[in-house]
Structure 1
Amino acid sequence: MTSNVAASIKARLLAQAKARGEEFELTLVRFATERLLFRLGESAGRRRCVLKGAALLAAWLPDPYRATRDVDVLASGPSDDSAIRSLMHEICSETCPEDGLRFDLSDLVVETLRANEEYSGKRAQFRAYLGKARIPLQVDLGFGDALAMPPQEIEYPTMLKTLPKPRLRAYPREGSVAEKFHAMVELGTQNSRMKDFHDVWALAGAFEFKGPSLRKAIAACFERRETPWTAETPSALTTTFYQNPELETRWRRYCTASTVLSPPPAQFEVIGERIIRFLGPVRDSFLHGTAFGFSWTPGEAWVTAEEENPA
């Protein structure tokens, strides 16, 4: 029975991949990630994990956007290797016969990330099987960070509508923007994380943001990482940054990657225009020590309450 379910699921996923022009391997990883999140949401481990990163974007944006080969979570509780092994076994022991997946932890590998830092992490690597199809999975667990806003309870979309949806705790959008903005400021022109620019551009284009909430999240992120604000404008908030030939080349290469399912504009300057409009005024409020009581209109600009709700 299980093999029949797996074969049926695999055929449906293959049809999806062909329709989207997506590599079948990535489709399988996306599916296994979704079903792992379902098991996380059903397990006692849900209290310890808050979903973040690229996998979370699938819950926010309506179309497949950017594929990822790993799951990122903010974790709490014990962080030694044995505790991580127990957590993974706890999550993967949850069953969902309807999805045909089997998670194999016989060769589970746990390693330390960012060792000897206050904000540290663990990486768990293992496999899932859909029939005979072998699917590598990776879970990155960060410990020691803090959220300025409480996690949100979300319902995660399913690739196949007949399957139960994952329900779990997730980062607020403001927290995701704050961490990506910090990476932009900290790394400057050495930043190879083109996905962060894509993500911030996409989030700013799709959603409203309340200025006080976003400012609070950014303040907490920068304080936690002991990054001060200076009078010099961060390079990622300048037009010259997005005209840098090396970064432009890096961006065009990123846009053609197989993991980019909804390609953004190929002109890096176009990406920069929105990011500068979105984050520049928030940064200025820190520089001048002022409140930021504006609201962001998706893809457009920050507006006052009067502009947002004209009489």
Structure 2
Amino acid sequence: MKNVMQLKALVKNYARKYGLNEPVTMQVYMLQRLLVRIVASEYRDDLVVKGGFLMGALAGFEARSTKDLDTTAWHTAVNEESVRLMFTEICGVDGGDGITFKVEGIKTITEQRRYHGVKVNLVAVYEGMRVPLSVDVTAGDPITPNPVKRVFPLMLEGEVVEAWSYPTETVLAEKLETVLSRGTATSRAKDFYDLYVIASIPDSYLSCTYL
């Protein structure tokens, strides 16, 4: 990217093309650039992508956008100190794009959650433009059978990055549990949409052995 005006124009055109919210589209772009740094860091085999960001990779970010990045730490203990160190080091990785990332705050998130986690508030800075970002890191999530390597398309570059993620079977199990536990009257529309997306994935992506 040559400059911030060019980036804003590309994001604006992308958002208009697909009928997306422009600020959210910019956040998705910056989260993708953060993922580039994660896979280039020593934590590449530790953080497992899940949630809306993963659904965006499955459905296409133009069809399923998100404002944050949900992950599970596969090896590292999850507490405020360890996660702060992790993301301070990740933010120090040069992504070759002129964007800098900075940790703004860390807090433990246990309220109404089954698994312990930490929320990382970051800011992406590019030529004076500041984009707030949020990353959740949890621990103790059951992943069946194991994390899988998945290709994540980069929105504007026409490139991809490969990162560890939940297997589709675990995504489906969690979505079904969410819908059944909340009931059809209280479930979010995106939960049903995510189930539709998963059902549309070719059979080769799902193993009946683990369902």
TM-score, with normalisation over the residues of structure 1?
Answer: 0.61
Equivalent residue, structure 2, for 1:55: 53
Cα offset, 1:38, TM superposition: 0.8
User: 1:155 & 1:210 partners in 2: Cα distance?
Assistant: 19
- When the two chains are superposed, the root-mean-square deviation of aligned CA atoms in Å is 2.2
Question: What secondary structure sits across from 1:47 in the alignment?
Answer: coil
User: 2:16 & 2:112 partners in 1: Cα distance?
Assistant: 45
Name the CA shift for 1:116/1:204 in 2 (closer, same or farther; >3 Å).
Answer: closer
Equivalent residue, structure 1, for 2:107: 111
**Match for 2:134: what amino acid?**
Q
User: 1:200 & 1:101 partners in 2: Cα distance?
Assistant: 35
Determine whether 1:172 maps to 2:171.
Answer: no
User: 1:83 & 1:168 partners in 2: Cα distance?
Assistant: 21
Determine whether 1:18 maps to 2:33.
Answer: no
Equivalent residue, structure 2, for 1:158: 154
Determine whether 1:184 maps to 2:183.
Answer: no
Structure 2 segments unaligned to the other structure (5+ residues): none
Question: What secondary structure sits across from 1:146 in the alignment?
Answer: coil
Q: Which runs of 4+ in 1 moved over 6 A?
A: none
Cα offset, 1:103, TM superposition: 1.1
User: 1:212 & 1:89 partners in 2: Cα distance?
Assistant: 39
Worse-superposed segment, 191-200 or 66-75: 191-200
Contact 1:151 1:172 survives alignment (8 Å): yes
User: 1:28 & 1:63 partners in 2: Cα distance?
Assistant: 12
Contact 2:144 2:169 survives alignment (8 Å): no
Name the CA shift for 1:22/1:130 in 2 (closer, same or farther; >3 Å).
Answer: farther
Name the CA shift for 1:161/1:112 in 2 (closer, same or farther; >3 Å).
Answer: same
TM-score, with normalisation over the residues of structure 2?
Answer: 0.88
**Match for 1:87: what amino acid?**
M
Equivalent residue, structure 2, for 1:210: 207
User: 1:186 & 1:139 partners in 2: Cα distance?
Assistant: 25
Identity of counterpart residues, as a percentage?
28
User: 1:63 & 1:96 partners in 2: Cα distance?
Assistant: 21
Equivalent residue, structure 1, for 2:43: 45
Equivalent residue, structure 2, for 1:294: none
Equivalent residue, structure 2, for 1:129: 125
Question: What secondary structure sits across from 2:65 in the alignment?
Answer: coil
Equivalent residue, structure 1, for 2:92: 93
Name the CA shift for 1:175/1:130 in 2 (closer, same or farther; >3 Å).
Answer: same
Contact 2:67 2:133 survives alignment (8 Å): yes
Cα offset, 1:10, TM superposition: 2.6
Name the CA shift for 1:100/1:17 in 2 (closer, same or farther; >3 Å).
Answer: farther
Structure 1 segments unaligned to the other structure (5+ residues): 216-311
User: 1:206 & 1:144 partners in 2: Cα distance?
Assistant: 27
Q: Which has the higher helix share?
A: 1
Question: What secondary structure sits across from 2:171 in the alignment?
Answer: helix
| Number of residues of Structure 1 aligned to a counterpart in Structure 2 | 208
Question: What secondary structure sits across from 1:11 in the alignment?
Answer: helix
Contact 1:33 1:137 survives alignment (8 Å): yes
User: 1:63 & 1:182 partners in 2: Cα distance?
Assistant: 24
Question: What secondary structure sits across from 1:46 in the alignment?
Answer: coil
Q: Which has the higher strand share?
A: 2
Name the CA shift for 1:19/1:188 in 2 (closer, same or farther; >3 Å).
Answer: closer
User: 1:183 & 1:118 partners in 2: Cα distance?
Assistant: 12
Query: Over residues 49-77 of structure 1, what are the superposed CA-to-partner deviations in whole Å (9 max), with x where a residue is unaligned?
Result: 10001111232224621211110011132
Question: What secondary structure sits across from 1:64 in the alignment?
Answer: coil
Higher relative contact order (CA 8 A, sep 6+): 2
Query: Over residues 102-160 of structure 1, what are the superposed CA-to-partner deviations in whole Å (9 max), with x where a residue is unaligned?
Result: 2122xx21111125976211111121123333211100111112212121112210112
Name the CA shift for 1:13/1:204 in 2 (closer, same or farther; >3 Å).
Answer: same
